[in-house]
Structure 1
């Protein structure tokens, strides 16, 4: 069947229209696809930015958590340090109070020790003159010690009390030593027999003269020959340490009237 020219023309026109429509549709689809690809690309970029923000936020959060733990540790450490500081401050307050008390005590003790040394010096001057050089030197040492800044008040006080204790012990123990005393108008070295503070006697090395300290007249007096043997025996007994096992007679001055 042959188509008429008009029909063919119409058919060709329809086909052209369809082709134009298909072409237009294809162009539209391509544009839509391009737009979708652009949107997807933009969305992907946005997602990448979001992922970057999330990662950064996670890092920042982890750092924040770490900082919180560090801050908590520092706060605990600061509390411990503050407790130590408070305890040290209390200790310092106690030390300051103790130092103030010690200062007050030292201000009271130093005059007391001065009076004790002066009293000891006066006591030795009035006492029986045994071991006089030794006792006077001890007092001189105490006075020097009291003026030394490198010696504590406690050490000074201990030495003063020790000197008084030595003087106290002199009154109970017998003792022998050599000394120089006036004998027959001249000074001679003699053997001294000290019986506490009860008697202070001497015997010349040749055993021919004896004497005793008279506390009332405060001078040495010569004794009769009858005391030579007892004093010699007393010297021997004390030197051998047999005081508790022997008995000997010595002259004793009568008690002084008050």
Structure 2
């Protein structure tokens, strides 16, 4: 009993001596574990941040890849457009050269056409003389104008030729001054194509025919006064078309 008691006393003494040391060790262990857990938590947060950053970078990378593909497609399209524009530019340059060359040839042609048209009016039956001379004068002024394009000049000349051509297929009545001898007075004129040109005095008492061969006016017999008056009314659309008996100059026969 005494030994047992001594053993217990010894154990208690040992326990009393080692308890503080164990407490210190336990506290140190707890501190170490706490620090370890804190470090682990910080590491996890860091890992989480790195993971988020990695995801963002991956998303940005994928987005960049999509943009690169889009840019590749757009660049290929631009290359096609540039090539097309190069071809169009070459075509335009060739057309400009052709236009410049054509313009060098067409300008003398237009000058000759206006000269020929003026000569035609001078030698033709003298109907609408003032109107036709004025048309020629306008064409000449237009040819010297820098404001009118070559295409417009050519169009206007062709239009003048068309007007002259149409005279051969129409009849027309108009009033104008006519000089006969020393007297100039207004007359009614009847043009039948380019075949014949007549005049009738306003009182209807005298008529005449242009003699192209002799280039002068000839007085007509009174029997033509009524047909001429009727012809004027038909040309003015004041009467229905009808047959007229009028003298028509015979064509010249070459010897």
TM-score between the two structures when normalised by the length of structure 1: 0.77
- Structure 1 window deviating more from structure 2 (129-138 vs 67-76): it is 67-76
| Structure 1 match to 2:120 | 123
**Aligned-partner Cα distance in 2 for 1:14–1:171:** 152
Conserved? CA contact 1:145–1:156, under 8 Å: yes
Q: Give every structure 1 segment of 4 or more consecutive aligned residues whose post-TM-superposition deviation is greater than 6 Å.
A: none
Q: Deviations over 1:132-181 (max 9, x none)?
A: 11111111122223333443333322221121122122223333333333
Q: Which stretches in structure 1 are left out of the alignment for 5+ residues? A: none
> Which residue, 170, 173, 177 being the options, matches 1:176?
173
Conserved? CA contact 2:125–2:197, under 8 Å: yes
- How many aligned residue pairs are there? 251
* Residues 176/29 of structure 1: CA separation in 2 closer, same or farther (3 Å cut): closer
Q: Deviations over 1:29-85 (max 9, x none)?
A: 443333333233323322222222222222232233333334434444444455445
* Residues 2/213 of structure 1: CA separation in 2 closer, same or farther (3 Å cut): closer
Conserved? CA contact 2:210–2:218, under 8 Å: yes
* Residues 45/172 of structure 1: CA separation in 2 closer, same or farther (3 Å cut): closer
Conserved? CA contact 1:193–1:231, under 8 Å: no
Q: How does 1:1-258 map to 2 (within 5 A)?
A: 16-17=13-14, 19-223=16-220, 227-241=221-235, 245-250=242-247, 252-253=249-250, 255=252, 257=254
Task: Measure how far apart 1:251 and its partner are.
Answer: 5.2
Higher Cα Rg, which structure = 1
**Aligned-partner Cα distance in 1 for 2:246–2:121:** 27
Tell me the C-alpha RMSD between the 2 structures: 3.3
Match of 1:53, SS state, is helix
Q: Which stretches in structure 2 are left out of the alignment for 5+ residues? A: none
